[in-house]
Amino acid sequence: MSIRIATRLASFALFSCLAFRLAAQSPGSAPHEFGIQDGIDVWIPASQFTGEGAHWIEGLSQGLFGYFYSSATSQPVSFHGYLPLPQGAYLDSWRAFYYDASATSDFNIGFVKWYDDVSATPVAGSASIHNFTSSGTPGLTSYHQTEGITIDLREPRPGSGLTRSESADLYTFYVVMPADSNVQFKGVLVTWHRQVSPAPATATFNDVPTSDPAFQYIEALVAAGITAGCNTAPPMYCPDATLTRRQMAVFIAKALGLHWPNF
């Protein structure tokens, strides 16, 4: 059996396994997301944004369900909302939903990366990625920002001299809300998708050189702990060998993190 046929069989088995899992879900549950093609939406509502010295008031008086304005009575107040994306996620875009009917105040939102570390003398830092401020009185609308960046939670703070193992980063959105009920905020819709990790500089297996078309994907399997190859001394992957049902079970179970059901 050629590697192409074996790969197709493995793909079919993986698809069948995924289809079975999706079909077994209850009607109202959210489907699991797999693959690197389709965008995945994450909604961060205004109610999850927190700030100091003020709180949210739901703007139902304007008929805007889910929109909130600040309880601040004088100066504008900043609220922050955490972006819960995993390491290596590709951030496609985000869209902020807001209402601005004020002739004197504007809506402001920013996207920020925060640097921290686990060294003996940690020093925090931040970097602004994008910022938007409304103008005029656009009323009920939204702002869309294309990003095209990879989420990196282990990027050392610039100029810090830290290693990736010492870095601990996160991403947040912030909104600056004036003391004006005519400026309201509903939340941010983030669209992202998964990626296969970039290929390393050196090969793990003697029979899968860096020039192999499947090098990046085989190395990702190794890094994820899904396979250890077919031989250890010398390290070999046997890329053209047939795939047994036993091996298929190991690949799928490790890739999906299959486990005992809840009880």
Write down the pTM of the prediction.
Answer: 0.80
Give me the pLDDT at residue 26, please.
40
Give me the pLDDT at residue 260, please.
78
- Show pLDDT as tens, one digit a residue, over the chain (263 residues): 344 434 443 443 443 443 434 333 444 444 456 788 888 999 999 999 998 888 999 988 777 889 999 998 888 999 999 999 999 999 999 999 999 999 999 999 999 999 999 999 999 999 999 999 999 999 999 999 999 999 999 999 999 999 999 999 999 999 999 999 999 999 999 999 999 999 999 999 999 999 999 999 999 999 999 999 999 999 999 999 999 999 999 999 998 888 877 76
CATH T-level topology, domain 40-193: Jelly Rolls (2.60.120)
**Cα–Cα separations (whole angstroms), residue 172 to 8, 135, 142:** 41, 23, 18
Contact 152/195 with Cβ under 8 angstroms?
Answer: no
List every span in the chain annotated with CATH 2.60.120.260: 40-193
Residues constituting the chain = 263
Give me the pLDDT at residue 15, please.
38
**Cα–Cα separations (whole angstroms), residue 124 to 49, 58, 77, 120, 149:** 21, 33, 22, 13, 22
Give me the pLDDT at residue 52, please.
84
- What is the torsion angle, in degrees rounded to the nearest 10, for the CA atoms of residue 84, residue 197, residue 8 and residue 227? -100
Tokens standing for 9? 């069989």
- Judge residue 112's burial from the number of C-beta atoms within 10 Å of its C-beta, 0-12 exposed, 13-18 middle, 19 or more buried: middle
Give me the pLDDT at residue 263, please.
66
Contact 197/220 with Cβ under 8 angstroms?
Answer: yes
Give me the pLDDT at residue 33, please.
61
Q: How many CB atoms lie within 10 A of CB 237?
A: 23
Contact 150/88 with Cβ under 8 angstroms?
Answer: yes
Give me the pLDDT at residue 3, please.
40
